[in-house]
């Protein structure tokens, strides 16, 4: 019973997020608040689908990353997904860091590899909004001093 309630609730969350693509941010926030209040008990007291919160999904949508999955993506597959979402490659630094920017949202996605890596780091992605706030792969804000914002890439 509890499992079927969880599946039903996650289906409702997915439908809400998809409907939110057609709503403005204020209307989406109000709908999310109503649904989260209604469904908290259905999935252990939180409005989450897997490890991605509804607010995280909203944030990724606002950044222009709704259909983009960077975790485990190689540079080429990530680049193609970003370009399909409207991001443009705007800079390649001397260390090999690739910087993509979304012209409408101002969001920045960075790919670090080669000389851009420090110590034993492996290639990874970073997501930033227009103000420079970093986000993890689930759309949650991260502190700039930690590695929490590193989204592992495929070599």
Query: Mean pLDDT for the chain?
Result: 76
Domain ranges of the chain: 2-50, 75-152
The yes-or-no verdict on residue 84 having pLDDT over 70 is: yes
The yes-or-no verdict on residue 40 having pLDDT over 70 is: no
The contacts of residue 60 (CB under 8 Å, 6+ apart) are 66, 68, 135, 138, 139
Which pLDDT does position 20 carry in this prediction? 55
Comparing 39-43, 70-74, 97-101, 138-142, which segment has the lowest mean pLDDT?
39-43
> Which residue intervals of the chain are DSSP H helices?
2-20, 25-39, 54-63, 75-84
Which pLDDT does position 81 carry in this prediction? 95
* CA–CA dist 59, 15 (Å, integer): 16
Question: Exposed e or buried b for every residue in 52-64, given b needs 16+ CB within 10 A?
Answer: bbbbbbbbbbebb
Q: What is the pLDDT of residues 96-143, one digit of tens each?
A: 999 999 999 999 999 999 898 888 889 999 999 999 999 988 888 988
Which pLDDT does position 118 carry in this prediction? 87
Which pLDDT does position 138 carry in this prediction? 87
The SS3 assignment for 126 reads strand
Which pLDDT does position 17 carry in this prediction? 58
Q: pTM for the full model?
A: 0.66
* CA–CA dist 107, 54 (Å, integer): 19
Residues of the chain above pLDDT 70, percent: 63
The yes-or-no verdict on residue 16 having pLDDT over 90 is: no
């Amino acid at each position: 019973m509890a499992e079927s309630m969880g599946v039903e609730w996650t289906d409702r969350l997915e439908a809400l997020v998809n409907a939110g693509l057609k709503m403005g941010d204020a209307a989406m926030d109000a709908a999310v608040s109503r649904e989260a209040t209604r469904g908290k008990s259905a999935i252990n007291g939180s409005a989450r689908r897997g490890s991605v919160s509804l607010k995280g999904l909203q944030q990724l949508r606002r950044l222009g990353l709704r259909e983009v999955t960077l975790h485990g993506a190689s540079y080429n597959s990530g680049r193609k997904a970003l370009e399909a979402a409207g991001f443009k490659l705007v800079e390649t630094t001397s260390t090999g860091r690739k910087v993509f920017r979304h012209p409408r949202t101002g969001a920045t996605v960075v790919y670090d590899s080669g000389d851009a890596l420090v110590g034993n780091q492996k290639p990874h992605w970073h997501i930033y909004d227009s103000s420079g706030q970093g986000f993890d792969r689930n759309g949650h804000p991260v502190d700039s001093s930690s590695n929490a914002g590193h989204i592992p890439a495929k070599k």
